[in-house]
Structures are given as structure tokens and as C-alpha cells.
């Protein structure tokens, strides 16, 4: 495709995606590259993605980031899961927590033992067998030596970008202030040759990373890559975000509260609370959505609510010619399961693993695109599951969701679980068996049977086994301190 050696990497756009790219490339590959990031102070970033998932711990470890310093700098709190309120039906709630469910055996996951125990009235709720789930409900948290890294963060996305910018510039990344006026293509192969700024400055590069958000200035407006629209599968197309003062102790989980035409998030930081409403404009106007959100928040407003429009879907190629789209320019799955920053991180790591130092070749580009697409497809199925698998019929929006033409891959997973209690996990898939089990059970899909190996246990053995697991979870979590007390000791944020 292009055998020219890659020396100059140009990152178009800042925000979370741009500065995550800049920090990783400059820290881990920077000695061999010239890395330049272009951003304009006049162009606001979306800056809403305040909830993360545990994979961010891996990214931070790669970059050698001190956790307490990062959390203090970004007003972060800990996150152990998501509470889904009114999703199965009105006033029916469940938690999708991080961590692992109970103890498995070689043939069957713990849910099989729990299901037999349920039939014999030997068990309590599923979350009593997951430490992170119990800790969500009890408001506890701790970072201990040799602890499973099954936690994540609520953070201020703007401050996170600022934190990563300092790291990137420390390792040689050059920031250029300016608005991109034009993308200049090479006549011989259609690759991007340079970017012209509004000031007239021209910046040449060998590899371009598009972090320009929904507009996809390079990947779409210049290269016309194409977009696969998923609006028929994920109908929400709008969000309203607002920040409020905090009036209650921060809980160690994100709240996702379903309403008639979408859902509301509530994300506790150390110094404020992030709020928003994701909704479908076919069923709710912007003005009515704004009023609905304002009627369901706590604390005083810290800013004016702002409307964000989006279209769920993905680019037909995430890497096209010498341009790699990362973040919102690559595509968007709504933030229901906090996967946006994860997908940014995965694309960055994938690019570094396949970095085309000696020139771009088609096999590498195809592999990058295939891996990215497979990961996004699995996440898409998991998010659709929440909407489709519901008992709600109380509004046109939810009646539509129950009729979504779900992908065959999701249909197969649901039927497999319904018939056998087996939760399928694809190789290298983000969400594991515990996640699928919690959401499918939480949304009301009850398996018809469990694995026969469970019946090798006598009633007494099963009761003892279930009790041992539950007591172990209770003892473990009982040693953890109060979530807020731990934050005040471990990573208190200063005045911002």
C-alpha cells in the first residue's frame, strides 16, 4: 500500500481520545517517532465519558501511571459496577457488577449451582456471591495487595485529557494549536499528505490518527470511508448532560435509570455529580428531555444542560489508507455499559502492536479492521440485550425496543442461555460469562435447566457449597472500608 517508513505521526484532535493516543505513543514508541497533536481551543470536546471499566487499569499500567495521583488529578471515585433501575420493568432493579461469580467447576459455571439452589430455596440473590456486587450495595471499597483488578473509575474526562497531555508532552509530543481547514491528499494513492490549518500552517505526516469526534474530519470527510448505521438496533440518538453539586456520599457504582423514552445516568465524582439523559428523539423532544432530566437530579446546577446528537454505528473501515480513526470518529455505541474509553484504549494498543514502522501494508490494515469490528460487534450485542430483553410495554419506546430485529449472534446467545444456562463468551471478548449471566438474569431471562453435573452433589453438599461461597464473599467485603473514607485516605482531590 505504502512502503514509506513512518516517522511523523499526526494526531488530529485532542480530548480523551487524542491525548490517550498521544500519551501512549509518545511514552511507548516515542523515541522512534515525531508525534504531533493538533487541537483547537475553540472546538469543545464531548467530554462526557466519565465512567470506565476495569480494562483501563491495564492501560495505566502500560503507561506507568500512579493510580492515586491520577485519581486526585481527575476528581475520580471508584466504580464496581452499574445499577440498572427500571430496566426489566418499572421499579425492578438489578446490578451488573465487575468481578467473578462464585466458583466454577470444569463443566459448568457457578450459575448452574445457583439455579439448582434457587429451586430448593437454598440461595439468596445472585449478587451475594460476587464480592464487587455486595460491595456496591454496602458502599465499600479497598485496593489491597494481590487483589483482583476488578474495579474501574468515575472521572472528569476534561481533567483526564489534561493529565494525559502532561504525560505526552513530557515524552516529547508536540501540541499545535489551530483549527484544521483542509485535508490534503496525495494524487498518486489518495493517502493523506498534510493538514492545512486556518492560520495557513501546513503539517505533513506519514500516519494520521483521526480523533476529531463524530464529524470524522479525516476518515470520513476527506477519505469518504462510509458509515454503518445501527439506529435500527440502538434507537437512542440524543443525550443531554449537566453537572450538579454533590449532596450525598458517592456510591461505588454508576446509576442507569430507565425512563419512558431512554435512560438517565448518574455518576459520582469527588467534587460533583455527572448527570445525563440518553433518549430517542422520535419519542421525546429536546425540551421535554431537558425538563425530564432537571426534574430527576439532585443538587444545584454547575453548568447549563447541553444537547449532544449522535448516530450509533461504525465506520466501514477503522483504518483506511494512512489514517486510523480512534474514538468517536471511529464509531459510537451509546454509553450504557461505559465502553467508549475502552474502545479508544483497545484501538491504541492494537495500533501499537501492529505499528507500520517500515510502511503500511494491506494485511496489517485488514487485520486491524477485522479485530476492531469483531470487538465492537460483541459489545453492540451486549448493549442491545438490555433494550430487547425487557418486560416493559408502558411506552411506545419500550414497545419498539422489544421488536428490535436483533442480530443472529445475540439471538443464539439468548437461546443458549434459555435452554441450558450456558453463557457464551467469544475469544478475546470484553464482557465475560459473569457479565452476561448478570444481565440476562437481571433482565428476566430464566434458564429452563442447568448442567447435569450439578446433580452429582447431594442436597447437603450443595447447601454447604453455596453457603461457603456466600460466607466467603461476606467476610471478604466486610474487611473493606467505607468507599468515601478510602478515597479520602488514598486519593483526595485538591481544589479544582
- Which residues are known catalytic residues? 79
Please write down the HEC assignment for all residues of the chain.
Answer: CECCCCCEEEEECCHHHHHHHHHHHHHHCHHHCEEEEEECCCCCCCCCCCECCCCHHHHHHHCCCCHHHHHHHCCCEEECEEEEEEEEECCEEEEEECCCCCCCCCCCCHHHHHHHHHHCCCCCCHHHHCHHHHHHHHCECCCCCCCCCCCEEECCHHHHHHHHHHHHHHCCCEEEECCEEEEEECCCCCCEEEEEECCCCEEECCEEEECCHHHCCCCCCCCCCCEEECCCCCCCCEEEEEEECCCCCCCCCEEEEEECCEEEEEEECCCCEEEEEEECCCCCCHHHHHHHHHCCCCCCECCCCEEEECCCEEECCCEECCEEECHHHCEECCHHHCCHHHHHHHHHHHHHHCCCCCCECHHHHHHHHHHHHHHHHHHHHHHHHHHHCCCCCCCHHHHHHCCCCCCHHHHHHHHHHHHHCCCCCCCCCCCCHHHHHHHHHHCCCCCCCCCHHHHHCCHHHHHHHHHHHHHHHHHHHHCCCEHHHHHHHHCCCCCC
CB-based burial label for 349 (10 Å; 0-12, 13-18, 19+): middle
Cβ–Cβ < 8 Å for 83, 256: yes
Cβ–Cβ < 8 Å for 269, 243: no
Q: Is the dihedral of CA 112, 116, 118, 124 positive or negative?
A: negative
Cβ–Cβ < 8 Å for 60, 233: no
Amino acid at each position: 500500500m505504502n512502503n514509506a517508513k513512518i516517522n511523523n505521526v499526526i494526531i488530529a484532535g485532542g480530548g480523551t481520545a487524542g491525548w490517550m493516543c498521544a500519551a501512549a505513543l509518545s511514552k511507548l514508541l516515542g523515541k522512534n517517532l515525531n508525534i504531533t497533536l493538533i487541537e483547537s481551543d475553540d472546538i469543545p470536546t464531548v467530554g462526557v465519558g466519565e465512567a470506565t471499566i476495569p480494562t483501563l487499569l491495564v492501560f495505566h499500567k502500560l503507561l506507568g501511571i500512579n493510580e492515586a495521583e491520577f485519581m486526585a488529578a481527575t476528581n475520580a471515585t471508584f466504580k464496581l459496577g452499574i445499577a440498572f433501575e427500571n430496566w426489566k420493568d418499572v421499579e425492578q432493579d438489578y446490578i451488573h457488577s465487575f468481578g467473578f461469580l462464585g466458583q466454577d467447576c470444569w463443566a459448568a459455571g457457578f450459575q448452574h449451582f445457583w439455579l439448582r439452589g434457587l429451586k430448593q430455596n437454598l440461595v439468596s440473590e445472585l449478587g451475594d456471591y460476587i464480592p464487587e456486587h455486595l460491595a456496591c450495595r454496602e458502599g465499600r471499597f479497598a485496593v489491597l495487595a494481590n487483589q483482583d483488578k476488578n474495579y474501574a473509575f468515575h472521572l472528569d474526562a476534561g481533567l483526564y485529557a489534561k493529565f494525559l497531555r502532561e504525560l505526552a508532552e513530557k515524552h516529547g509530543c508536540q501540541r499545535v494549536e489551530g483549527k484544521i481547514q483542509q485535508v490534503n491528499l496525495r494524487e498518486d494513492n489518495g493517502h493523506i499528505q498534510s493538514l492545512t490549518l486556518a492560520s495557513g500552517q501546513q503539517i505533513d505526516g506519514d500516519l494520521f490518527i483521526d480523533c476529531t469526534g463524530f464529524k470524522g474530519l479525516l476518515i470520513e470527510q476527506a477519505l469518504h470511508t462510509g458509515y454503518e448505521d445501527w439506529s435500527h438496533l440502538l434507537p437512542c440518538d440524543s443525550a443531554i448532560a449537566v453537572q450538579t453539586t454533590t449532596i450525598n456520599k458517592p456510591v461505588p457504582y454508576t446509576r442507569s435509570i430507565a425512563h419512558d423514552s431512554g435512560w438517565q445516568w448518574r455518576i459520582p465524582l469527588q467534587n460533583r455529580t455527572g448527570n445525563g439523559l440518553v433518549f430517542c428523539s422520535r419519542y421525546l423532544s429536546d425540551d421535554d428531555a431537558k425538563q425530564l432530566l432537571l426534574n430527576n437530579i439532585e443538587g444545584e446546577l454547575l453548568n447549563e444542560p447541553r444537547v449532544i446528537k449522535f448516530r450509533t454505528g461504525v465506520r466501514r473501515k477503522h483504518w483506511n489508507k494512512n489514517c486510523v480513526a480512534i474514538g468517536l470518529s471511529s464509531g459510537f455505541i451509546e454509553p450504557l455499559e461505559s465502553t467508549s474509553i475502552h474502545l479508544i484504549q483497545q484501538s491504541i494498543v492494537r495500533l501499537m502492536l501492529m505499528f507500520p514502522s517500515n510502511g503500511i501494508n494491506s494485511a496489517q490494515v485488514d487485520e486491524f479492521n477485522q479485530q476492531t469490528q469483531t470487538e465492537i460487534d460483541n459489545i453492540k450485542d451486549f448493549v442491545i440485550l438490555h433494550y430487547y430483553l425487557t418486560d416493559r410495554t408502558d411506552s411506545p419506546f419500550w414497545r419498539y425496543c422489544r421488536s428490535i430485529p436483533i442480530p443472529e449472534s445475540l439471538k443464539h446467545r439468548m437461546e443458549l442461555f434459555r435452554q441450558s444456562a450456558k453463557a457464551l463468551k467469544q475469544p478475546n471478548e470484553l464482557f465475560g460469562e459473569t457479565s452476561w449471566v448478570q444481565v440476562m438474569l437481571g433482565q428476566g431471562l430464566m434458564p429452563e435447566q442447568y448442567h447435569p453435573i450439578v446433580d452429582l452433589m447431594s442436597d447437603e453438599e450443595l447447601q454447604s457449597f453455596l453457603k461457603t461461597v456466600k460466607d466467603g464473599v461476606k467476610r471478604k467485603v466486610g474487611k473493606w472500608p467505607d468507599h468515601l473514607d478510602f478515597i479520602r485516605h488514598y486519593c483526595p482531590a485538591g481544589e479544582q
